[in-house]
Structure 1
Amino acid sequence: MQTMDSTNRLEDGALSSPAAQRNAQAILDILKAHLPARGPVLEIASGTGLHAATFAAALPDVHWIPSDPDPEARASLRAWKARTGLANLAEPLALDVERAETWPQAPLNAIVCINMIHISPWSATEGLMAGAGRLLSNPGGLLMLYGPYREADIETAPSNESFDSALKARDPSWGLRDRDAVVSEARAHGLHLTLRIAMPANNIVLLFRRA
């Protein structure tokens, strides 16, 4: 599982992350304000599954579809589903954003991607935008991104500079992405930035809509 966060394993095999616990409520507040009230929502790179379980529990009319290319992450997602018994939390998909054949085929109301773009090569962002462009086919379809970015009009926080260095030391293809480059890639697939929201710990949320 690609992560820079520490994890711990619960008795039933579910993984938990202190970072995910800290940011879950702040992200949930954004989801409640902007997600469609019901219907399918695909989460990309779900990781431990703590977010998926938290969000599905708080949004009972949303059909939350977690995904991750890593078998360990999917095992943890299944453990969270068994632990919570949530009917609206789907079985995890083995989705690799760079492989179009692993994406679902049915249109979606929304796609949520938390803390993936900086812990993956740029080709993953390209794959994410291509997939979102295909599946968010209805006007108003929402893509929500969460994480740290470089922004031309805002000075990068020292903690984010240190984080960027740590990411690149682990993998030279990783690192904080330029917000405008991400916005441009989204626009190439019919998705337009509609809102930027500052979040705790020098993260931001970017909301994109299908015109």
Structure 2
Amino acid sequence: MTESGSGLFPQTGLEAQRHAPATLRNRDAIAAVLQDILPEQGTILEIASGTGEHAVYFGQKFPGITIQPSDPDPANCRSIRAWTKREAMTNILPPLPLDALSENWDVSAPAAILCINMIHISPWEATIGLFEKAKQLLQPGAPLFLYGPYFRADVPPAQGNLDFERSLKSRNLQWGIRDVADMDALATKTEFSQHDLIEMPANNISLIYRKL
């Protein structure tokens, strides 16, 4: 069954905290991939941080790095601050209200960019914006990490992904599971190359691109 990044529920404790059930299911698998691609030190920019649970968990797993979370939703930014405060995190910066569709991001050059479960619940233009901004910000060799469901021409789609695709389209015709070939083509246009494709639980994939 494909995960959805949109299931948010109130969290007991601090009023602003939100909880995305998928986080608990995928965070360890994602951290295992990040362990091999993130630098030991530096600032990591997370796009579409959502509730902030991933940022807090990765900050705990990788104490040598500084995480810059971001999200265009003010409620999510409040949740990120609440989780950061609850866990007394010192290596997580205050969230930025970044939107992949915005022309400019007011952020310093990061050592890596992470984007989890955003590509399929946003218009294609947001993915273009993400790659274009990553091109401007990342140094050669730095990783752009994407996680979520994707279609591939050489792999039969899982029924869970087909069902999820129909659900996404019923909610917004601009949303949908993207094809890896389209992601790779966009990467080439924006001076990235696919470094790795890693199978993940629940019909998801980790796509790792590196700046040329």
* TM norm structure 2: 0.95
RMSD: 1.2
In structure 1, C-alpha distance between the alignment counterparts of 2:17 and 2:61, rounded to whole Å: 19
Q: Deviations over 1:146-169 (max 9, x none)?
A: 000011111110000000000000
Contact 1:146 1:205 (C-alpha < 8 Å) held by counterparts: yes
In structure 2, C-alpha distance between the alignment counterparts of 1:54 and 1:195, rounded to whole Å: 23
Q: Does residue 150 of structure 2 align to residue 166 of structure 1?
A: no
Alignment of 1:73-112 (within 5 A): 73-101=76-104, 103-112=105-114
Contact 2:100 2:126 (C-alpha < 8 Å) held by counterparts: yes
In structure 1, C-alpha distance between the alignment counterparts of 2:45 and 2:123, rounded to whole Å: 21
Report what 1:17 is aligned to: 20
In structure 2, C-alpha distance between the alignment counterparts of 1:30 and 1:148, rounded to whole Å: 16
SS class of match (2:202)? helix
* Paired amino acid for 1:26: A
Give how far 1:7 is off.
2.5
Give how far 1:171 is off.
0.4
Give how far 1:6 is off.
4.1
Report what 2:187 is aligned to: 186
In structure 2, C-alpha distance between the alignment counterparts of 1:83 and 1:140, rounded to whole Å: 35
Give how far 1:104 is off.
3.1
In structure 2, C-alpha distance between the alignment counterparts of 1:61 and 1:69, rounded to whole Å: 27
Which protein, 1 or 2, shows the higher relative CO under an 8 Å CA cutoff with sep ≥ 6?
2
Give how far 1:107 is off.
1.5
Report what 2:201 is aligned to: 200
Report what 1:41 is aligned to: 44
SS class of match (2:96)? coil
SS class of match (2:98)? coil
Give how far 1:3 is off.
4.3
Give how far 1:43 is off.
0.3
Report what 2:7 is aligned to: 5
Report what 2:64 is aligned to: 61
Q: Deviations over 1:109-138 (max 9, x none)?
A: 1000000000000000010000111101x2
Contact 2:5 2:20 (C-alpha < 8 Å) held by counterparts: no
In structure 2, C-alpha distance between the alignment counterparts of 1:187 and 1:90, rounded to whole Å: 31
Alignment coverage as a number of residue pairs: 208
Q: Does residue 68 of structure 2 align to residue 72 of structure 1?
A: no
* Paired amino acid for 1:186: A
* Paired amino acid for 1:207: I
Q: Does residue 55 of structure 2 align to residue 52 of structure 1?
A: yes
Q: Could you list the structure 1 runs, at least 4 aligned residues long, displaced by more than 6 angstroms after superposition.
A: none
In structure 1, C-alpha distance between the alignment counterparts of 2:26 and 2:189, rounded to whole Å: 30
* Paired amino acid for 1:192: S
* TM norm structure 1: 0.95
Contact 1:149 1:204 (C-alpha < 8 Å) held by counterparts: yes
Give how far 1:105 is off.
3.9
In structure 1, C-alpha distance between the alignment counterparts of 2:5 and 2:201, rounded to whole Å: 19
In structure 2, C-alpha distance between the alignment counterparts of 1:7 and 1:35, rounded to whole Å: 30
In structure 2, C-alpha distance between the alignment counterparts of 1:169 and 1:147, rounded to whole Å: 19
